[in-house]
Amino acid sequence: MRTFMKRIGAALLFLAVAISFTPTLVPPFLDRIYYEGPRSDHFDGERFFNLGFPPYGNGTPQRFMNRLLHDDRKSEWPERVPVTPTVPPRRVDGAEMRVTWIGHATVLVQTAGLNILTDPIWSERASPFSFVGPKRVRAPGVRFEDLPKIDLVLISHNHYDHMDVPTLKRLWKRDRPVFVTSLGNDTLLRNAGIGGRHDMTDCGRCPGVEALDWNRNTIVEGAAMEGWSREPLGPAPIANVYVERNHHWGSRWGTDRNRALWSAFSVDTPAGKIFYAGDTGWGDGSWLWEAAARGPFRLAIIPIGAYEPRDFMKTNHINPEEAVRIFETLKPARALGIHWGTIQLTFEPIDEPRRRLEALKRARGIAPERFIATEAGETFAVP
């Protein structure tokens, strides 16, 4: 009975992952067309793809789900990890830069009068359903009601742990921020009432939403930012946001796999450059050199978790060793490790990513403060 209940619990926990990973579990009518445009080296006219790599690496969706349900190597996570929420300042002006890990891939960066959020999720589950699916064990490190007015939201791709529509709707209703994402994801946002009326005949710039291809950029102008302080860093534009190539995939319902593009971001602010890797595997690493050319970076935000079992996950998620390779390539003044210890999506123990990062820093002679993995709600300053 105990084994049976354990398997039932695992099945419920990973149902949302199954929906994303296994197209055969959902009917074809759940397919969606999010983007229509010319073919390119990463778009075949219907779906996007990584350059020269299959979407699932060495595994198959069915094999992965079987391992999730039956492999005893999957670590048990606690039901809850205590979190002490913080209340960030309303604004951080001038050259100061303050960073708060809120949880999973959600980070608040405050600098030059600009409040930036990456892949915000305040929902209890990363799932299309509120009652089932991967559940967070760390509460958000900042309560939503304590969140300062957000100016810019970066959305890397459309998986539920990165594109949390309920949170995005709350942000749109409260703050009217600028949303920057990659091709096709704007359709999902606009269909949810975010960023203005969706019109498939006009997929260009829409109020609040900008969707771009890899290696394209958009200017976020200071005039749009309430509370922007132009002294001493000069006039608008406030930020130049580049959508960068990385190595991942996208889906909401399985059959819509890769209908929308995935990405990383470089953000050039008057106080320095920020790199956000999004959710990525290593691939051939060439995407990293493209991003590094936009440096030097003051801050890099790099995933370190959700990497086991390695034979399946290596195409889509980097591990701590690869995260350190990214850090050593970009050479930022500071880096923050994310995408760990919040929502169990894979096999590794909850704190293993942070422990491996610390061991790698010691082995490679990296100063402890240069690349950190904080507790949720902890804020640090970037020199």
What 3-state class would DSSP assign to 23?
helix
> Which is nearest to 188 in space by CA: 207, 211, 205, 171?
211
For the whole prediction, is pTM greater than 0.85? yes
Instruction: Give the span between the Cα atoms of 261 and 184, in whole angstroms.
Output: 6
Instruction: Give the span between the Cα atoms of 84 and 18, in whole angstroms.
Output: 32
DSSP 219-288: EE-GGG-TT---TTT-SS--EEEEEE--S----SSSTTTTSS---EEEEEETTEEEEE--S---TTSHHH
pLDDT for res 254: 82
pLDDT for res 204: 40
User: Given its phi and psi angles, is residue 313 left (phi above 0), alpha (psi -120 to 50 degrees) or beta?
Assistant: alpha
| Residues 16 and 65 sit within 8 Å (Cβ to Cβ) | no
| Residues 322 and 314 sit within 8 Å (Cβ to Cβ) | no
Query: Which mean pLDDT values do the consecutive 10-residue runs of the chain (383 residues) have?
Result: 54 50 51 93 95 56 56 86 97 95 98 96 94 94 97 97 98 95 96 69 58 95 45 57 97 91 97 98 95 97 97 93 98 98 96 98 98 98 98
Set out the domains of the chain in order of their start, with CATH numbers.
97-368+377-381 (3.60.15.10)
